[in-house]
Amino acid sequence: MKIQLLKLSTRQTFKIHLVSLIFIPCFVQAEGSNLLKYPVSSTLCIEEKSTGFNWANNQWVPTQFKVTRKYLVKKLSLESYKDIQAKEKNKSIFCTEPKETKISDEGGSFTGFVEVCYENKTVGEESSVFNVSMCTEFWKKGKLERISCDKSIPQFFFHPDGQFIRFPWHSDIQRTAENKDSLALTVGSCSKVD
C-alpha cells in the first residue's frame, strides 16, 4: 500500500481551515469542566531556520533571517491570565474560559479539541497580555497531536516535544509603501521544560 502526501497551496490550506471552523461547532461542547487536566507543561522552542521577504524599492525581496530567538510557551489558567491583566492594568480580553469539543471518548481516551489560554514569549521577556491568546489543543485517543495558536500574531503551531512553525499574519498589500514589516516563516524544535 502506497501512501501519497498532498502538497496544498496556501489557498487550499485556508479553505480546509475555514471548513473546520464551520463544522467543529457541530460537535458537542462541554464548557467549564476541568480542562487543565490534560497535561501540557511549559515548552521551550528554539528557532532553527527562518526565511522570508524584506520590503525594498516597492517590492518584496527574498531573504534568510538570522535565527536567534528562543520562545517559552506555557498554558495559563484563567486566574493566571487575570493576574497578568491586573499587573499591567490592562482590561484587554485575549483569554476566556477553556472549551472542550469532544469527538469521542472511546475507551476513556479523549479525542477532540480543547481551546485554552497560552502565553508565548521570548525567553527573558516579561509576561504581557499581548503575548497571550487562546490556542487549540488537538487530541487523538488521549494523545496530544499538536497545538495551534492561530489567533495569535504571529501565528504559532507546535508540539511540546516536536517541531514548531511560526509565521506572520499581516496583509499589507499596498503596491507602494515606504516601509512594510518583513514576512518571515520560521521553524524549529520544542521540548518540555517542566
Read off the pLDDT of residues 122-135 as tens digits, 9 standing for 90 and up: 999 999 888 999 99
Point out which residues pair with 183 in neighbouring strands. Answer: 53
Does residue 23 lie within any of the structural domains?
Answer: no
Q: Kindly report, residue by residue over 6-54, the tens digit of the pLDDT.
A: 444 544 443 334 334 333 333 333 333 344 455 557 999 999 999 999 9
Does residue 176 lie within any of the structural domains?
Answer: yes
Cell of 160: 511540546
Does residue 19 lie within any of the structural domains?
Answer: no
Which helix H or strand E contains 22, and what residues bound it? helix 10-23
Does residue 49 lie within any of the structural domains?
Answer: yes
Does residue 15 lie within any of the structural domains?
Answer: no
Closest CA to 69 of 48, 41, 42, 43: 48
Does residue 83 lie within any of the structural domains?
Answer: yes
Does residue 98 lie within any of the structural domains?
Answer: yes
Residue 154: cis peptide before it, omega within 30 degrees of 0: yes
Closest CA to 158 of 41, 80, 68: 41
Q: Kindly report, residue by residue over 70-117, the tens digit of the pLDDT.
A: 999 999 888 888 888 888 888 888 888 888 888 888 888 889 999 999
Does residue 10 lie within any of the structural domains?
Answer: no
Q: Which domain holds residue 177?
A: 31-192
Closest CA to 185 of 161, 172, 162, 169: 169
Please tell me the total count of domains within the chain. 1
